[in-house]
Amino acid sequence: MKVCYNAPRMSIPFTQERPISPMVTEVSFPSATPFFKGHFPDRPITPGVMLIDKAVASAKKILGCGICLTCIKKVKFMNPVLPDDPVTLDLAVGHEGEITYSFSRKGMRCASGVLVFRTD
C-alpha cells in the first residue's frame, strides 16, 4: 500500500517567509491564524504539526514535487514557537532520502526532526 503525505494548503499565508539560502528560511505564523484560538486560548503556541508541515513543504520545494514523505523520525519540541515570532528553518539533506530540519529562534532550538522521503 502506498501512503503519501501531501502538505495541506493553508489559505492564510505566513506573515513572513524570507529565504536566506536554499536550505534556510525565516518564517513566522500570524497571530490571526485560527489554530491559535484553540492551541492554547490563554497562551497560544504554534502546533507542532504546523512546524512539521512547514518543514515538509520546504523540503519538497528543494527536492522537487515527485517525492513522497514515508516517515517522520526523531521529532523533538524543545521550546514553543509563539504567534508572529520569527524562527529560522534549517534543512540538511542526508543519505537515503533523509532531510533533517531544525527551527530556532535567536540561536535557541525550538523543534527538530528527520523526514524520510522516497521518489514516486
pTM equals 0.85
Domain boundary assignment for the chain: 20-119
- The proportion of the chain whose per-residue pLDDT surpasses 70, expressed as a percent, equals 86
Residue 21 confidence class, pLDDT cut points 50, 70, 90: confident
Mean pLDDT of the chain: 86
Please name the residue that has the C-alpha cell 520569527. Answer: 86
Q: What pLDDT is recorded for position 62?
A: 83
Q: Is it true that domain 20-119 has CATH number 3.30.420.40?
A: no
Alpha-carbon distance of 13 to 54, in angstroms, equals: 12
**Closest alpha carbon to 50 in 40, 62, 36:** 36
> Mind listing the pLDDT tens digit for each residue in 30-89?
998 888 888 888 999 999 999 999 999 899 888 877 788 999 999 999 999 999 999 999
Please name the residue that has the C-alpha cell 501531501. Answer: 6
CB 30 within 8 A of CB 84: yes
